[in-house]
Chains A and B, each alone.
Chain A
C-alpha cells in the first residue's frame, strides 16, 4: 500500500476550510489543522467581554471545525509577525483595513514553514476562485502560491479543477477527478456539500474572518494610528478597540467608556495601564483615558464620563480619577448635557 500522505489544512473556522479539509479526509489523506491568531480574529472573546451575549454558546469556530472533522488543530500565535503584514501590505487594503491578499500569502508561507518542520507533504486551503473580490480571484491564486513559496504544494480542493494541476495531484496522492470546481460568489455548492457531509451549525461570517473587515473597527484603528506618533501597536491596543464606546473630545486623548457590566469588568484589567475615571457619588461605567491629558482635559473627561452614569441629571457629581501609579483625585463636576457631546467625538 502506498504511503499515507499528510496535509495541513488552514482552518479559519468558516465553512470553506471545513469542507476543503473534509474533501481531503475522504480521499484518505491524513489531515491536521492549523489556525493563525493575528489578534484581529473574530472569536469567542468578544462574546466573553459583552455580557449581553452570554446566552449564546461561546465557541471557537476553528476548534469546532477541527472537532467536526476529527482532526488535530494547532493554533499559532502570529501577533508579532502579523504587524508587518497589516502595516505594510504590498497589495494594499480591501474595503476596510483588511490586507487580505498579503494576509493569505503570509499564512500560507507560515504553513510552508510548518510542513517542513513537521514533515507534512502539502497544504490545503478552502479558497474558491471568485469567492472574495480582493483575495480570491483567478489572478490572485498564483500570487499566493508564489509569494508564500508554496508553489505547487498548495492545493485548493474546492476549486482545484479550475486550476493547474498541483504536485499532490500529479503524484497521485490525491485524485483530481474527485476534487471540485466551485467558482464565483455563490454559496450554494458549499451549502449542498455541507448538507451531504452532515455539517450543521457551521459559522458563516458575512465579511471575512477578522475584525479588519469591519468598518467600525477599522475606523477606530485608523483613529488610533492618526493620533499616535507611530503605527506600531500592542495586543492590548487592538483588544481595547473591540471594547466600549470610544470618544475623542480632543486630539490628545480618547476616552473608552464601558457599555455594560461585562465590558467594565474586562476594562478593570487595564487600570494599571491607563488612567481611569469612575463616579464615586452615583453608579456609572468605568472610563479609561488614553493619551496625554492636562488638568482641563481631565475635567472635560470627567464631565463627559458623568454623562454616562446615573448621576447624569444631577447638578453635581463626584468623579474619581486614578492614575496607573495609584495617585487619585476626586473632582466635583457638572455632568455634560447630552447636546454638548458632539457626534463628531464618537470614533
Chain B
C-alpha cells in the first residue's frame, strides 16, 4: 500500500516525528511518501530510516518541496 504524509511547513525534527509515528501504524512492505518543505528533512528523515531499519527508496526536491519515499521494513520500531 502506498501512503502519503504531508509534513509541509513543519521544521525538523517535526517531519521526523510525524514519519516515525506514521510508520508505527503501517505494515512491512508499505511505502510512505513524506512531503516536506524544510530541506533539513532530506538529511534527518533518511538518517532516522537508516537507524530504525527502514529503506529510503528515493528522494527528490521539486520547487522547494522535498519528497522522500520510504519502504517500511520489518525490524523497524519494535521497541
Contact = CB atoms under 8 A, between A and B. Distances in A.
Taking residues whose C-beta sits less than 8 angstroms from the other chain, chain A's interface range is: 20 to 34
A36 to B, nearest CB: 10
A72 B52 contact: yes
Nearest to A44: B40
Interface in B2-61: 9, 11-14, 16-17, 20, 37-40, 43-44, 47-48, 50-53
A41 B39 CA distance: 18
A49 interface: yes
B15 to A, nearest CB: 10
Contacts of B48: 63, 73, 75
A45 B38 contact: yes
Interface in B62-79: 64, 77, 79
A32 B79 contact: yes
A63 B13 CA distance: 10
Contacts of B79: 32, 72, 74, 118, 120
Contact of B51 (A37, A72, A265): A72
A120 B12 CA distance: 28
Chain B interface category by residue count: 20 to 34
A71 interface: yes
Contacts of B11: 45, 48-49, 239
A64 B47 contact: yes
A59 B20 contact: no
Given A45-B38, A67-B51, A74-B20, A37 B43 contact: no
- Nearest 6 CB-CB pairs, A to B? A45-B11, A44-B40, A48-B40, A63-B47, A58-B40, A60-B44
Interface of B: 9, 11-14, 16-17, 20, 37-40, 43-44, 47-48, 50-53, 64, 77, 79
Interface of A: 32, 35, 37, 41, 43-45, 47-49, 57-60, 62-64, 66-67, 71-77, 118, 120, 239, 265, 269
